[in-house]
Amino acid sequence: MASALAARQALSALSFRTAIRGARIATPSLTAVAPTIPRGLGVSALFSSRKAAVPAKSVPATKPRTEDGIFGTSGGFGFTKANELFVGRVAMLGFAASLLGEAITGAGILSQLNIETGIPITETEPLLLFFIAFTVLGAIGGLGDRGRFVDDEPVGPPVKPGSIKAALGLSEDGPLFGFTKANELFVGRLAQLGFAASLIGEVITGKGALAQLNVEIGVPVWELEPLLLASIAFFFVAAINPGTGKFINDEE
């Protein structure tokens, strides 16, 4: 019995030593396969501090160009609404000045031009026809335009419906009519069309705008002086008043 127990202990000890020797033998083979890493490279590469990300460059938002100055030019050429507003204001001033000059001198627009320059109308006919065609096309938008009008931000609460003015989109507390740039552009287009029509009428009939009005309605001009003065004053104020709202050019 004792001999059998001693044999089992010897057998287990022998197997343990064999396992230890096998592990010692296998260890060099595993280490030999592993590549040699230089000192101070492996640890520092694995656990080095992370570099901060480079912030992306912020592109500043380009502000849209707005009309500037009393005449509202956009600072460039082209058929934009800002330039059309400028031409409309000049047309209103020119139409008002021509009507006032005709009321004083009795001569039409072309006759006043002849008095100022001393050049006969027959010699300026090509330039006159080009001016008329350009004015008509610019007034009806045949040459195209760019841009849009943006109303000013309302200061108070929105308009509450319930009245005729509110139904028409007008402010209940404000005036019925106002000098906005959209309305001013409309009046400027009418002034351009009226200016061109008066020039065409004077070329055909030889009479100025007021004389043509007398032919159409049969009322003497001196009886229309209050209406004429009110029209001249309206065109003058509409031309020099910058109006509310702003103009923004579209992105090209």
Q: Note whether residue 159 is domain-resident.
A: no
Confidence check: pLDDT of 148 > 70: no
Confidence check: pLDDT of 151 > 60: no
Which of the residue ranges 41-45, 147-151, 191-195 has the most confident prediction, judged by mean pLDDT?
Answer: 191-195
**187 is written with which tokens?**
């009046």
Q: Note whether residue 42 is domain-resident.
A: no
Element containing residue 233 per DSSP (H, E): helix 225-240
Give the Cα separation of 249 and 76 in Å (integer). 11
Confidence check: pLDDT of 46 > 60: no
- Tens-digit pLDDT profile for residues 122-143: 777 777 788 777 767 766 654 5
Confidence check: pLDDT of 157 > 60: no
**191 is written with which tokens?**
């002034």
Q: Note whether residue 185 is domain-resident.
A: yes
Q: Which of 52-61, 85-94, 103-112 has the lowest mean pLDDT?
A: 52-61
Closest Cα to residue 136, out of 78, 60, 189?
A: 189
Q: Note whether residue 61 is domain-resident.
A: no
**98 with 211: CB under 8 angstroms?**
no
Question: If you average pLDDT over residues 219-225, what whole number do you get?
Answer: 74
Question: Rounded to the nearest 5°, which phi and psi values hold at 71?
Answer: -95, -5
- Between 111 and 40, the more confident residue is 111
Confidence check: pLDDT of 24 > 70: no
Q: What is the pLDDT of residue 126?
A: 79
Q: Which residues contact 225 (CB under 8 A, 6 or more apart)?
A: 103
Q: What is the pLDDT of residue 85?
A: 77
Q: What is the pLDDT of residue 51?
A: 58
Q: Note whether residue 243 is domain-resident.
A: yes
Q: Which residues contact 173 (CB under 8 A, 6 or more apart)?
A: none
pTM of the model: 0.47
Confidence check: pLDDT of 178 > 50: yes
Q: How confident is the model at residue 230 (pLDDT cuts 50, 70, 90)?
A: confident
Confidence check: pLDDT of 16 > 70: no
Q: Looking at the 3D structure of the chain, how many domains does it have?
A: 1
Give the Cα separation of 81 and 152 in Å (integer). 17
Q: How confident is the model at residue 201 (pLDDT cuts 50, 70, 90)?
A: confident
Q: Which residues contact 32 (CB under 8 A, 6 or more apart)?
A: none
Question: If you average pLDDT over residues 200-209, what whole number do you get?
Answer: 83
Q: Note whether residue 3 is domain-resident.
A: no
- Between 240 and 233, the more confident residue is 233
**27 is written with which tokens?**
């260890």
- Tens-digit pLDDT profile for residues 53-84: 666 666 555 554 544 444 444 445 556 677 77
Residue-number span of the structural domain to which 235 is assigned: 81-151+177-248
Q: Note whether residue 63 is domain-resident.
A: no
Q: Note whether residue 12 is domain-resident.
A: no
* Percent of the chain clearing pLDDT 70 (strictly above): 41
Query: Average pLDDT of the chain?
Result: 65
